[in-house]
Amino acid sequence: MTERFPESPQFTGHNAPCRIECDIRDLVVEGTLPDDMQGTWYRSVPDPQYPPMLGDDVYLSGDGMVSAFRFEAGHVDLRMRYVQTERWLNERAARRSLHGRYRNPFTDDPSVRGKGRGVANTTPLYHAGRLIALKEDSRGWELDPQTLETLGEFDFGGKLRSQTMTPHPRIDPQTGELFFFGYEAGGVATRDVAYCVADAAGELQREQWFEAPFCALMHDFVVTKEHAIFPCFPITADLDRLRQGGPHWVWEPELGSRIGIMPRHGDVAEMRWFTAPACSGFHYINAFTDGSLVHVDMSLTDVPVFPFIRTDSGLRIEQYEVHGALERWTFDLADPVDRIGRRVIGPSGDLPRLADSDAMSDYEILYYERYDPSIGPPITTGAVGPGFNALTRLEVKTGRMTTLPMSPRATLQEAVHIRSERRGHEGYLAFVVDLHDEDLSEVFIVEAQNLSLGPIARIKVPMRLRSGVHGTWVARR
Ligand SMILES: [Fe+2]
């Protein structure tokens, strides 16, 4: 390959493509791994196989690489494999990139017109014994949970009609049901949304379609024991713009925000759309229903957090000028008037996680990442720009926070929560730490309840791990 990756921030420094598929048995561990931490931590990482066809591209276009850290009896093994999507295979055969602008099929090489362009780079879902690599512009791809071999595109045995599947499905911790949706379900830039439920055995039980108020970037949704909540923040797609070679996403604040709420086992005709001022949110934290009230916790910013969306929208705002917070929005379904109660529950940050058992219920504790300028100057890594440099545990009801800062030349990626088998123990958090001076990565294991202790174990990784998006812990059964 003589063509080089671009010198842009999305492809240099810690963001330089890694492209390494590997098996490493027995990573070096400093400290002691808890004996009740047995299982596999899967991470999805965008990692472009070839330089972009049009000279530059966004981080989120990278081919999906899944890494699996397997924890067993005090040992850790690492396996990394590309998801062999249709796009990955076609480009592999051609030895070059064949796809153009981010989520714009009209800019692709004629040889791949009409072919799959999903990269499965966002979330590894584990449900009913299946491992599915997800990205929201397409269906998932099933992988062998042990070998990470790609088994094929996943459509629930031919039952799924939606062309897409969110990277943020929600699993009910009591029933094991899988709730998910797909937006642009009927094709690029359509308003079609498919709302789906699979049972604990992974059988698709229901798929209902509805039209969103506008074709919005619906990255995430959230479910309570009684309701499903859909976001429509005003980052929008337009087919004509795409046909002209334009960007998929443009910020249109004049549309405002819309939040749809329906009974989770009800009919989509029961959806009630609430209106709210324009804002941008990618991740819901959790939600729960209390009588007629639906409480929804989320990470919000005043404008899109992704620089490429702001640039494509003509919005010239630097990253430090983007303001946000964690907020709780409360909707009263008994009130015929759309009034949304809003209160801030924590300072700006993202990639929120909580114990799986707390999902869909009133809860106490969340963990998330923040960029704190008092720790050090920003270091570009990952999809947004400045990498996170602080891990925070937030007690939602009291606002009490504890924070583990990184060293000034380190950033951290999304933490995954690992349940402890010990009664009364809050469990552990595992996360990749990017060591920018060494051009290497480590994995930190911390006690969730005692962040200030720092890592109880540090796992040395003999290479740089590109920033992942989301991860999933699967306990050994
Ligand atoms: Fe996400």
Q: Domain coordinates of the chain in residue numbers?
A: 13-475
The SS3 of residue 34 is coil
CA 166 to ligand 1 center in whole angstroms: 9
CA 470 to ligand 1 center in whole angstroms: 7
At 241, the pLDDT band (50, 70, 90 cuts) reads: very high
Whether 49 has a pLDDT exceeding 90, the answer reads yes
CA 300 to ligand 1 center in whole angstroms: 13
> Which pLDDT score is estimated for 13?
94
CA 246 to ligand 1 center in whole angstroms: 24
List, edge to edge, every strand of the sheet that includes 257-263. Answer: 222-223, 227-232, 257-263, 272-276
Phi, psi of 68 (to 5 degrees): -130, 115
For 448, counting Cβ atoms within 10 Å of its Cβ (0-12 exposed, 13-18 middle, 19+ buried), the class is buried
CA 1 to ligand 1 center in whole angstroms: 32
CA 369 to ligand 1 center in whole angstroms: 13
CA 221 to ligand 1 center in whole angstroms: 10
> What pLDDT digit, counting tens, does each position of 69-105 carry?
999 999 999 999 999 999 999 999 999 999 999 999 9
Go through the chain and tell me how many residues it has: 477
Q: Determine the average pLDDT of the residues in 103-124.
A: 97
CA 12 to ligand 1 center in whole angstroms: 23
> Which pLDDT score is estimated for 18?
96
User: Are the CB atoms for 137 and 146 separated by under 8 Å?
Assistant: no
Phi, psi of 392 (to 5 degrees): -125, 135
CA 298 to ligand 1 center in whole angstroms: 12
The Cα–Cα gap between 4 and 147 comes to 31
Number of neighbours of residue 302 by Cβ within 10 angstroms = 16
> What pLDDT digit, counting tens, does each position of 398-434 carry?
999 999 999 999 999 999 999 998 989 999 999 999 9
Whether 1 has a pLDDT exceeding 90, the answer reads no
CA 334 to ligand 1 center in whole angstroms: 31
Q: Determine the average pLDDT of the residues in 177-193.
A: 98
CA 164 to ligand 1 center in whole angstroms: 15
CA 335 to ligand 1 center in whole angstroms: 31
Q: Is the pTM of this model over 0.85?
A: yes
CA 282 to ligand 1 center in whole angstroms: 6
> What pLDDT digit, counting tens, does each position of 305-333 carry?
999 999 999 999 999 999 999 999 999 99
Query: Percentage of the chain with pLDDT > 90?
Result: 98
The Cα–Cα gap between 423 and 123 comes to 30
Task: Give the angle 317-318-321 at the CA atoms, nearest 5°.
Answer: 80
- Listed in sequence order, the residues at least 6 apart from 226 whose beta carbon sits closer than 8 Å to its beta carbon are 263, 264, 289
> What pLDDT digit, counting tens, does each position of 353-370 carry?
999 999 999 999 999 999
Whether 477 has a pLDDT exceeding 90, the answer reads no
CA 350 to ligand 1 center in whole angstroms: 9
Phi, psi of 194 (to 5 degrees): -105, 125
CA 30 to ligand 1 center in whole angstroms: 31
CA 231 to ligand 1 center in whole angstroms: 13
> Which pLDDT score is estimated for 255?
98
The Cα–Cα gap between 221 and 181 comes to 8
CA 135 to ligand 1 center in whole angstroms: 9
Mean of per-residue pLDDT scores for the chain: 97
CA 265 to ligand 1 center in whole angstroms: 24
For 398, counting Cβ atoms within 10 Å of its Cβ (0-12 exposed, 13-18 middle, 19+ buried), the class is exposed
CA 352 to ligand 1 center in whole angstroms: 9
CA 283 to ligand 1 center in whole angstroms: 6
Whether 191 has a pLDDT exceeding 80, the answer reads yes
CA 471 to ligand 1 center in whole angstroms: 10
CA 35 to ligand 1 center in whole angstroms: 30
- Listed in sequence order, the residues at least 6 apart from 246 whose beta carbon sits closer than 8 Å to its beta carbon are 104, 238, 312
> Which pLDDT score is estimated for 3?
85
Task: Give the angle 406-407-409 at the CA atoms, nearest 5°.
Answer: 115
Please tell us whether the domain made up of 13-475 is placed in CATH 3.10.129.10: no
Place of tokens 């812990």: 473
